Chain A
Amino acid sequence: MDVFITSKADFDSSIQRMIQQNEIYGVKRKTPSFAFDRLVAAEELCLDYDITVLPPTKYLLPPTESLIKFKLAPEPSIRSSAEAQPCILIGIHPDDLHAIKLLDAVFTGSLTDVNYLARRRATTIVGVDCVNPWPYSFAASMGTAIPPRIFDLWLTDLGDEYLVEVGSARGEDLRKRYLKTRRAREVDLRQRNKVRQDWLKKYQLSLDMPPQEIPKVLDEAWHSPLWEELGQKCLACGSCTMVCPTCICFDVRDGIELNLKEGERYRRWDSCMFDGFAKVASGENFRPTGTARLRHRLYRKGKYMLERYGELGCVGCGRCVHACLVDIASPVAAYNRLAKEAR
């Protein structure tokens, strides 16, 4: 394993140099919360945050994104608008990185979404272990509090220093170019393990079963009274999906310039919790109730994604738990309750 140590003071000046030469997005304090945003100065970066309002997946699947550009006159022509500027994303938490692993499986699997692929390849990922878990998160019990190995660099806060793990050739380049490091010793690795063990215990919410068992629980739960109980309160506001790092559904629209000669087709975030999500042009709505939509969302997260892509559709970040005004969106509460009903 390529593991290094850098002092926090050195790290700050490394970040400053990185900012001067790269497009870099990191976690900033936006009182009272945190958000990923463009960094202009090293001191803006805040790596001991609990959660960001929106997940970093917004850089891979932006709220709106051009898919194709077209000209109508003199002759109709169309081209793809898939392209991306190289950038560095710094401060990704382990659970959000698990979400990116799922997005990779969806968008670069048997069919490739080149818009996603372009952005994904252009993005260097520098993640950080989460020292202060958010009270709404249940990542530890979902097995997503330890990062999957799809990062370029990974940081762990050891007090005055960061432990830096290199995950790719691109990460190694970045380390060599910007970081002042020494090789990590056995004792540093033991220290990281201890830090990780400590924070895993700090999660306040937890799933009552191994996460792989969620599909089994759901297999028996299609007719549970829970769906109606929760679903009838749903406001169809879509907040639970807008903040979710694994939510990827989109709508596609056309826009046209005022000259009426050129335009673009773009996608924008959509939500399976909106009442018209499954409505066809002739008027039929195939998921017409809050009950049906809420059930679909929790099956998609707890079962369908796993069956199709090998990854659960919930990484336990807790954003939806916090975002829902009527307190019905929590996957952990629903799965625990259904498991109890089954017993």
Chain B
Amino acid sequence: MAVGTELGSSLFLPKLAELLKVEPLSEKEKLFQLRLKDGSRLNHKPGQFVEVSVLGIGEAPISISSSPTRDDSFELVVRMVGNLTGALHRLQPGDTVGIRGPFGNGFPVSELLKRDLLFVAGGIGLCPLRSMIQHAIDKREQFGRIILLYGCRQPAEQLFRGELGEWRQRPDIEILESVDRCPVDVAWEGSVGVITTLFPQVSIDPGKTTALVVGPPVMYRFVVAECLKQGIAKERILLSLERRMKCGMGFCGHCQINNRYVCQDGPVFSYAELSRLGEAEL
């Protein structure tokens, strides 16, 4: 053990960030726009996450839902599910939070160049995918087709409705939407049924397509089966996983799936890799 050299700065030390904007997206979700107070950029890749602190309450891993191609701020969508996220929901613009990261591998952007991108988003899964969708839109000429299949339980749960509206206007993005059920008094032009009902409605070139899938765990098995049926290679089906996280650095053990640490080796894994991991149950 080398003695005497500098210890270096602690990876547990958050940077302070200011909330620039807080906007409700649905009953349970809010969008937060933040900027680091020291003037530095977050320098994240699409698909990475940060650990967000409310000092005195705790910390939680939240995926970054904006693209680094935008500006020096970044956006997070927080669903209110517990103590920490409840505290986040009570904050106002101008308030301060702690940010550690970015953590994780993110989407393999260089491997996605020239490919057709098939985004499959279940519910809040749209948030991490949005960072990659925005990236692909901002560098539109670097990618092939952009197809988004977006499924929610009901129309009121759709997130980013304004932005979805803009995407629908664009001729270079194809969007298909579904809801599990639709109340009779609500206007809905998409499909009704689980997200896999959208697959027969698109025709893809399986050799050119990479699927990027994010949603609740129950969705993965069905969506993967559908992707395989379409002929997409196992290596080209990418899934982003959620696990319990306490450090983000491969130390605390909470996020492990077999010998992989979701915080470091993930959260994005190919189905080829996950199919070899017994604990992924895919």
Contacts and interface: CB of A to CB of B under 8 A. Distances in A.
Q: A and B from one assembly?
A: yes
Contacts of A79: 13
Contact of B244 (A104, A113, A279, A296): A279
A112 B5 CA distance: 13
Contact of A150 (B1, B81, B243): B1
Interface string A265-299: 10100101000011111111011000010001001
B252 A222 contact: no
Contacts of A272: 253
Contact of A72 (B55, B85, B246, B251): B55
A186 B202 CA distance: 81
B246 A252 contact: yes
A296 B57 CA distance: 30
Q: Classify chain A's interface size.
A: 35 or more
Interface string B247-265: 1011111101111000000
B278 interface: yes
B253 A222 contact: no
B10 A287 contact: no
B187 interface: no
Interface in A58-94: 67-68, 70, 72, 76-80, 82
B13 A121 contact: no
Contacts of B251: 106-107, 111, 113, 248, 250
Contacts of A304: 256, 258-259
B108 interface: no
Contacts of B2: 121
A238 interface: no
Contacts of B217: 284
Contact of B58 (A104, A252, A307): A252
Given A248-B251, A265-B12, A114 B7 contact: yes
A90 to B, nearest CB: 17
A281 B81 contact: yes
A263 B55 contact: yes
Contact of B55 (A111, A254, A280): A254
Interface in A108-153: 108, 111-115, 117-118, 120-121, 150
Contacts of A307: 259
A235 interface: no
A281 B10 contact: no
Contact of A254 (B58, B243, B244, B247): B58
B40 to A, nearest CB: 15
A70 B16 CA distance: 11
Contact of B11 (A112, A118, A248, A277): A112
B235 interface: no
B39 interface: no
A104 B1 CA distance: 8
B32 to A, nearest CB: 16
Nearest to B7: A114
B250 A111 contact: yes
Q: Classify chain B's interface size.
A: 35 or more
B63 to A, nearest CB: 13
B249 to A, nearest CB: 5
B125 to A, nearest CB: 12
Interface string B9-28: 11111101000000000000
A212 B81 CA distance: 44
B253 A248 contact: yes
Contacts of A279: 244
A52 to B, nearest CB: 22
Contact of B96 (A76, A107, A113, A308): A76
Contact of A113 (B11, B55, B81, B278): B11
B200 interface: no
A304 to B, nearest CB: 4
Given A118-B7, A281-B81, A296 B96 contact: no
Residue of B2, B9, B244, B279 with highest tally of chain A CB at under 10 A: B244
Given A254-B57, A281-B85, A80 B13 contact: yes
Contacts of B10: 67-68, 80, 82, 114-115
Given A80-B12, A284-B217, A308-B259, A270 B253 contact: yes
A20 B269 CA distance: 56
B75 interface: no
A256 interface: yes
Given A115-B10, A254-B55, A280 B242 contact: yes
B82 A121 contact: no
B208 to A, nearest CB: 34
B85 A265 contact: no
A170 interface: yes
A249 interface: yes
A251 interface: yes
B2 to A, nearest CB: 8
A277 B246 CA distance: 11
A256 B8 CA distance: 26
Interface of B: 1-3, 7-14, 16, 53, 55-60, 79, 81-82, 84-85, 96, 98, 217, 242-244, 246-247, 249-254, 256-259, 278-279
4 tightest CB-CB pairs across the interface, nearest first? A249-B253, A80-B10, A304-B259, A256-B56
12 contacts: A79-B13, A82-B10, A108-B1, A112-B8, A113-B251, A251-B246, A265-B55, A270-B246, A281-B60, A299-B259, A304-B259, A308-B259
